[in-house]
Structure 1
Amino acid sequence: MWRRKGKRLELERLATLAGEASAEAASRMEGGPRPEEDSQSEQAGEHRAPVTPDLTAAAFFDVDNTMMMGASIFHFARGLAARNYFTTSDLAGFAWKQAKYRIGGKESKDNVSSSREQALSFVAGRSVEELNAVGEEIYDELMADKIWSGTRALAQMHLDAGQRVWLVTATPVELAAIIARRLGLTGALGTVAETVDGVYTGKLVGDLLHGRAKAHAVRALAAREGLNLKRCTAYSDSQNDIPMLSVTGKAVAINPDSALRDIARERQWEIRDFRTGRKAAKIGVPSVLGAGALAGAVAAGVAFRKR
């Protein structure tokens, strides 16, 4: 019993550390275009009127299957495989392992711990500048056309109300920040990888930004930014994000999995579903990769590096 309690406390410590590191990174990176500065709107000939800032209210959006179709880290891994960071067979292997785990839920605690320790090791020794440049390219190639227009419109609604909007995702914070900037959002909370002199060490700061870690990140950012969480809104598709959804005054289930849909109905949370028919079926397979995909990507990278 004491051993189990000790593990729970350690997981909570790592989740807290991950959340605080993510909030610090988000505050440091904040400064993306505001609604009136949105380059996409300018290119389309739209001119938004300046808005009065609402400094104590904000919105937090999960990424995978909420803001974007499928798992962002999976799209990122595809792009890295195309650039020989690891092989396509590795990519297929980790996709299958993660799908099997997410469906069956039979991954051991030891495997989870191992994945946590090895996360992002496939970029060890590479510079942040290099990965940022690659991330920009991969966004254009594989992600830009996978944004849910309905979710994007909800984010714009908050921006038009003068509120700040952050993405919250297990995806590496640098990639999350690219997605946020391209969408004209305020910034992003994501998994923080340790760096020394601008080079990745292959270790995480704390844990993956997943589950309770997301809730810690939102609280930490709210404290830094002076937000009133009761006036904030959180959006997600997954039951794994219930801790984050429960932190804010309003929660919205977007394209929810069955468990989240049930809980949303029970708690009278708003439900928005932008999937229809065949499209919803297609989203099913990528969705099983969402929360655990980062750890899966790690396995592929480690396999490549060991070869």
Structure 2
Amino acid sequence: MNTSCADSAPSSDCRPRLALFDLDHTLLPLDSDYEWGQFTAREGLVDGEAYTRRNAEFFEQYRAGTLDLHAYILFATEAIRKLGPQAAHAARERFLRDVIAPAIQAPALALLEQHRSQGDTLVIVTATNEFITRPIAARLGVEHLLAVQLQRDGSGWYNGLIDGVPTLREGKVHRVQAWLGERGLDWPQVHTTFYSDSTNDLALLEKVDVPVATNPDPHLRQLARSRGWQVLDLFEPSPETTGDLPT
């Protein structure tokens, strides 16, 4: 990780700078997990009507903070597991082309570029699984991804189970801590900023140096105001949006 202290005053914060980003409804104006489910239903890769109904139920559970992630991952990887590697990767490419690429907006790219240009290390930390999000992170130009890791069976393909600690709620703090530890670092040794839209991410928002409520849900918007956190609306004009990087 780079520092931003080459020409700074002695009193400046010379710690390496880490910019953490949630993905869905933060860098993207949609939920990639939910949209993948809708896509597989439209493509006829799953039982359309039943799958769409169950997908909506899981999405509401996530918004309410009551999601059983293990049950959801088993459900959400149904098409991936049934198709097998070659067909699943082909379906993912169509999903990226038809759903994700049109949703990538200039304000999100500009925010990433602001951090990139000042030497910050960028990391996406998302509760969506790695199969869906790895190529999305690549499209956004973000090298480091902490996502829900998927377990593989004896054949080397996904079996519908989670591998390790999932990046949901407090799990995001755990995974970032582990990521830092792999680099010989700990929280006090880095300056951290985290962008998120959801109170599901409250544990990580409270852990970082600079929490930024980004396109926040109503609860997080109210909480951010009460705590004096920056509110950033990337996809809709807002009087609270300054266009400047948080410090």
TM over 0.5: yes
1:166 matches 2:126: no
Q: What secondary structure is seen at the aligned counterpart in 2 of 1:124?
A: helix
Q: Which amino acid counterpart does residue 75 of structure 1 have in structure 2?
A: E
- The Cα of 1:93 is off from its aligned counterpart by 0.6
From the two aligned structures, give the one with the greater helix fraction: 1
Using the alignment, how far apart are the partners of 1:141 and 1:91 within structure 2?
Answer: 20
2-structure distance, mates of 1:160, 1:114: 38
Please give the alpha-carbon distance, in whole angstroms, between the structure 2 residues aligned to 1:228 and 1:262: 30
Kindly tell me: are residues 140 and 106 of structure 1, through their superposed partners in 2, closer, same or farther at Cα, counting changes over 3 Å? closer
Using the TM superposition, give the Cα deviation of residue 276 of structure 1 relative to its aligned residue in structure 2, in angstroms. Answer: 3.6
Q: Which has the higher contact order (CA 8 A, sep 6+)?
A: 1
Over 3 Å counting, the alpha-carbon distance change for 1:222 and 1:133 in structure 2 is farther
Residue of structure 2 equivalent to 1:218: 176
The alignment status of 1:89 with 2:45, answered yes or no, reads no
Alignment correspondent of 2:209? 249
Matched, 1:156 2:113: yes
Name the residue aligned to 1:289.
Answer: none
The aligned amino acid for 1:213 is: G
Alpha-carbon separation, structure 2, partners of 1:106 and 1:270 = 23
How far, CA to CA, are the matches of 1:179 and 1:117 in structure 2? 18
Q: Over the residues paired in the alignment, what is the CA RMSD in angstroms?
A: 2.9
Asked if 1:112 corresponds to 2:72, the answer is no
Cα distance in 1 for partners of 2:69, 2:158 equals 20
In structure 2, how many angstroms separate the alpha carbons of the residues matched to 1:187 and 1:84? 33
Choose from 178, 189, 193 the match for 2:135: 178
1:251-296 alpha-carbon deviations (Å, 9 max, x no partner)? 111111122112212322111113448xxxxxxxxxxxxxxxxxxx
Structure 1, unmatched stretches of 5+, are: 1-51, 278-307
- Tell me the distance in 2 between the aligned counterparts of 1:85 and 1:276: 34
> Which residue number in structure 1 is paired with residue 242 of structure 2?
none
Q: 1:138 aligns with which of 95, 115, 118?
A: 95
Q: When the two structures are superposed, what TM-score results if normalisation uses the length of structure 1? A: 0.63
Alpha-carbon distance in 2 for matches of 1:266, 1:154? 24
Report how many residues are paired: 222
Partner of 2:234 in structure 1?
Answer: 274
Give % identity: 25
Q: 1:102 to 1:59 in 2, by over 3 A?
A: closer
Paired letter, 2:53 = G
Q: Judge conservation of contact 1:116–1:207 (CA < 8 Å) in 2.
A: no
Give 1:180's aligned amino acid. Answer: A
Indicate the residue corresponding to 2:151 in structure 1. 194
Aligned residue identity for 1:248: V
Inter-CA distance 155–226: structure 2 relative to 1 (3 Å threshold): farther
Partners of 1:222 and 1:195 in 2: CA distance: 25
Q: CA deviation at 1:188?
A: 1.3
Match of 2:161 among 192, 200, 203: 203
Q: Secondary structure at the match of 2:68?
A: helix
